[in-house]
Amino acid sequence: MPELPEVETVRRGLEPAMTGAVIASAQVNRPDLRWPFPPGMATRLTGQRVLGLRRRSKYILADLSSGETLLIHLGMSGRILISGDPLGQFVHDHPAAEKHDHVVLDMANGARITFNDPRRFGAMDLMATDNAEAHPLLAKLGPEPLGNQFDEPYLVAALQDKNTPIKSALLDQRIVAGLGNIYVCEALFRAGISPLRRAGRISAKRVAALVPIIRAVLNDAILAGGSSLRDFRQADGELGYFQHSFDVYDREGAPCRRPGCPGNVRRVVQSGRSSFYCATCQR
């Protein structure tokens, strides 16, 4: 599943081709993805100007001149490709249609935005922009880890009574939005905290120190273009490369990268997900 850095990378890639541009035509090639598309989606999109692109957690939000917002979720294998951009920043020629091109937006500026999703775990919806935060997928989300509301006092208060492992607590989207398995593993390694530790038993000082570390891990990944695991692609089709910088994720049995640490990376399963950590230096 693409995590916050991958989604933010796609959002930034879409901005030059979509923000301020009009959707000249919208083509919807099936009735649903993970859930049914909203009624008349192609008609409701056609002719609308994209006022701006936002990200909330792992969702891309395109605010339209109609007063509606298009919500996009990539799912496990969804990708958005750009072709024909008049600024020359992307592929110039529109590629031949593929089997899993489920939604295609032709922009008035000549760009084409294609949502391709072989496994159909992605999603799209339309909602009133003024009431977007009340959408069922967004209503219960916690603060953004890169936003001002996610600060040291907030995280200390949110975790102080939690009896769940710190890894599980940070993956709880009600506590902090957008964090996923990969970057929580990386943040806990940088913080020297075991993913097995109970969140409520970690000192306030160590919890507070997690805030800048989480932000640094996410910013590093965004600057590197996302992790590109499995089917993820940037909007221009280029692979990201942050996976080459992982300290612990998917490195089971490899030597710990912390200077002076003699340990090796271990893998344990927590709530059905693999946690990678160094038992020697993460306590």
Using one digit for the tens of pLDDT, what is the confidence trace for 182-233? 999 999 999 999 999 999 999 999 999 999 999 999 999 998 887 655 556 6
Closest CA to 215 of 72, 1, 2, 5: 5
Show which residues are catalytic: 2-3, 58, 273
CA-based Rg of the chain, rounded to a whole angstrom? 20
Q: Are 150 and 207 in contact (CB under 8 A)?
A: no
Residues 6+ apart with CB under 8 A from 88: none
Q: How far apart are CA 32 and CA 240, in angstroms?
A: 29
Q: Is the pLDDT of residue 247 over 60?
A: yes
Using one digit for the tens of pLDDT, what is the confidence trace for 139-185? 999 999 999 999 999 999 999 999 999 999 999 999 999 999 999 99
Average pLDDT, the chain: 92
Residues 6+ apart with CB under 8 A from 232: 2, 6, 74, 79, 226, 240
Alpha helices in the chain (DSSP H): 4-18, 41-45, 152-159, 166-171, 181-191, 204-224
Q: Is the pLDDT of residue 31 over 60?
A: yes
Overall average pLDDT of the 110-138 stretch: 95
Diameter over CA atoms, the chain: 61
Q: Quote the pLDDT of residue 2.
A: 83
For residue 237, give the DSSP letter.
S
Binning pLDDT at 50, 70 and 90, where does residue 15 land? very high
Token pair in block for residue 121: 């775990």
Q: Quote the pLDDT of residue 128.
A: 98
